[in-house]
Structure 1
Amino acid sequence: MSDLLVRLYPAEYRAAYGQEIVDVHREMTADLPRPARLRADADLVAHALRVRLGLDSASPAGRFFALAAPFALAAGAVGSGLHLTRWYTGLVLSPAPVWVQLSTMDGPWALSLLLSLLVCVGAVIALTGGWVLGVGVAVCGLLGRAALWSAAVPVPGEGALAPVAAALLTAAVVLACPADRRGDRPLSAAAGAMAAAGWFPVVVVDAGAYTGAFGVTTDYGAWPMLVLTFTGAAVALRSRSSGLRELGAMAVASPPLVAYAYTDVWGDPWPALGILLLLPVMATATVVCEAVRRRR
């Protein structure tokens, strides 16, 4: 079986490491029960496909997605969290009794809320150390939301195409993270802080507690994207890089926030396109700042 599985690797990689992979795999699985052996075979297949696609930890693409994955999870949690808290705020502020509102909630809307909760819970678990479990929960929520919207279920206030594309792209980015680069603690901490900073002021404004929280308007869904962009610049400056790689990773992580902005203005593309300009502007500013710092 090992010989057959190794054929999934590219020819050059197989010529260099194939026999070593076969020997190690046979030694590791020799005394394992059948279910454990099948899991080991699946891991070998996954690694072979990553190498073939250039997504292993040694490749530039693998390192790029390892950087982007925590922030994609965080962005997905922000979008789902805002979906949940806006529903809850409306539930609390409505003059109708809570039990009446809950009893009249239709199935698709309740399912949408449940799937959003899965994304949020999964992101929290993944970013606090339980990467495999958390990603599994979050991806189930993302794919479930994509299926719900693609089935043309009428979800009030939200279109179909943007949320579906955002959910699928986010799941793909998270799953593209190489296995040995998952759960990087500094990146997870930065992603968690970004999620909190992107979510909380919008909730405050939606609740009517304060308009223009922290001096920045939350109109047009701009605030979460602004937080993501500045986080990318901060990560770049901390690592003393040009910022192009970090801001590129933020761009890959941004679909949930772009979809949130797009649906927040009822399908008007211009605000969403406008906030996308934040990324190249911030990338340019980061490059200039790093160039100035190196000259000193």
Structure 2
Amino acid sequence: MSDPLVRLYPAAYRAAHGQEIIDVHREMTADMPRPARLRADADLVAHALRVRLGLDSASPAGRFFALAAPFALAACAVGSGLRLTRWYTGLALSPAPVRVQLHATDGAWILYMLLSLLVCVGAVVALTGRWGPGAGLAGCGLLGTAAVQWAAGAHVYEEGALTPVAALLTVAVVLVCPPDRRGDRRLSAAAGAMAAVGWFPVVVVNAGAYTGAFGVTTDYGAWPLLVLAFTGAVLALRARSSGLREMGAMAVSAPPLVAYSCATVWGDLRPVLGTFLLLSVMAALTAFLQTVRRRS
């Protein structure tokens, strides 16, 4: 069974490693029940396709998406978390009893909020050490929110059509990440810190607790994007790289925050365009600092 599957690998890779792959796969699956053997075959096919598409862990693209995936999960957690806390703040600050408000709320909206909660829980689980189950929960939540919004109409929740598109892009980034590079502790910790800094000040401001909290006087949806850009610069400086790879990974991770920003300012693209300009400027500045450091 494994011989035809090995043909899915590129010719050069098959010539170098094909026999070894066949021998290991046969030995590994010799005593497996049929369902387990099918899963092993599926893993082999997935690896072959990754190698053919240049998305394995040894390729530049694979390493790029391995860097982007934790921050994509963190970004979707920030977007979903802000959506949840904004709704909860509205419930808490309204003079009407919470029970009355919930009774009058559309059932699809309740489902939308529950799926957003699932995204947040999944992202936290993934970034705290259990990548597989956490990413699976977050992915289901993202696909669910996209489905609910498309079914109800993007205009219904004032989120804009970008939100379901951003959800699908985030799922794609997480899936493309090579399996053996998922759950990196250092990157997960950095992504978790980015999510906390991007989420908490906005919640404080939106709750009206302190309108000048952390220097965020007017949000416009740009604060989480600014935190993401700053995180990319810090990663580049620590890695002593040019910054292009890190800033590119932050840009790939940004769609949930872009959708949140556009929804916050009713489709005004200026904060988003300004943030992507900032990403470019910070990448250039990081490259300049690395050049100066090498020469000194």
Give TM-score scaled by structure 2 length: 0.97
- The answer to whether the Cα contact below 8 Å between 1:217 and 1:223 also exists between their aligned partners in 2 is no
Instruction: Tell me how far apart the structure 1 counterparts of residues 191 and 247 of structure 2 sit (CA, whole Å).
Output: 14
Matched, 1:156 2:133: no
Instruction: Tell me how far apart the structure 1 counterparts of residues 191 and 156 of structure 2 sit (CA, whole Å).
Output: 28
Partner of 2:256: 256
Partner of 2:25: 25
Instruction: Tell me how far apart the structure 1 counterparts of residues 217 and 65 of structure 2 sit (CA, whole Å).
Output: 31
- The answer to whether the Cα contact below 8 Å between 1:202 and 1:218 also exists between their aligned partners in 2 is no
The residue type equivalent to 1:76 in the other structure is: C
Partner of 2:282: 282
- The answer to whether the Cα contact below 8 Å between 2:205 and 2:216 also exists between their aligned partners in 1 is no
The residue type equivalent to 1:274 in the other structure is: G
Note the C-alpha offset of 1:272.
2.1
The residue type equivalent to 2:16 in the other structure is: A
> Cα–Cα, structure 1 residues 174 and 47, in superposed 2: closer, same or farther, change >3 Å?
same
State the Cα deviation string for residues 132-191 of structure 1 (Å, max 9, x = none).
1111111111111122222243543211x2102111111111111101111111000000
The secondary structure found in structure 2 opposite 1:219 is: coil
The secondary structure found in structure 2 opposite 1:220 is: coil
Percentage identity across aligned positions? 77
What stretches of structure 2 of length at least 5 have no aligned partner? Answer: none
State the Cα deviation string for residues 73-129 of structure 1 (Å, max 9, x = none).
000100000010000010100100000011111121011101111111111011011
Instruction: Tell me how far apart the structure 1 counterparts of residues 268 and 226 of structure 2 sit (CA, whole Å).
Output: 19
What stretches of structure 1 of length at least 5 have no aligned partner? Answer: none
The residue type equivalent to 1:208 in the other structure is: G
Instruction: Tell me how far apart the structure 2 counterparts of residues 16 and 207 of structure 1 sit (CA, whole Å).
Output: 60
> Cα–Cα, structure 1 residues 218 and 4, in superposed 2: closer, same or farther, change >3 Å?
farther
> Cα–Cα, structure 1 residues 260 and 29, in superposed 2: closer, same or farther, change >3 Å?
same
Matching of residues 1-296 of structure 1 within 5 Å: 1-153=1-153, 155-159=156-160, 161-296=161-296
State the Cα deviation string for residues 209-245 of structure 1 (Å, max 9, x = none).
1113211334211100010011110111111111111
The residue type equivalent to 2:262 in the other structure is: Y
- Pick which of 145-154 and 122-131 moved more: 145-154
State the Cα deviation string for residues 17-67 of structure 1 (Å, max 9, x = none).
111111100100101111211111111111111111110001000000000
Root mean square deviation of aligned Cα: 1.2
The secondary structure found in structure 2 opposite 1:91 is: helix
- Pick which of 146-155 and 120-129 moved more: 146-155
Instruction: Tell me how far apart the structure 2 counterparts of residues 284 and 201 of structure 1 sit (CA, whole Å).
Output: 28
Note the C-alpha offset of 1:3.
1.1
The residue type equivalent to 2:243 in the other structure is: G
The secondary structure found in structure 2 opposite 1:58 is: coil
The residue type equivalent to 1:109 in the other structure is: W
The secondary structure found in structure 1 opposite 2:8 is: coil
Note the C-alpha offset of 1:11.
1.9
Note the C-alpha offset of 1:274.
2.0
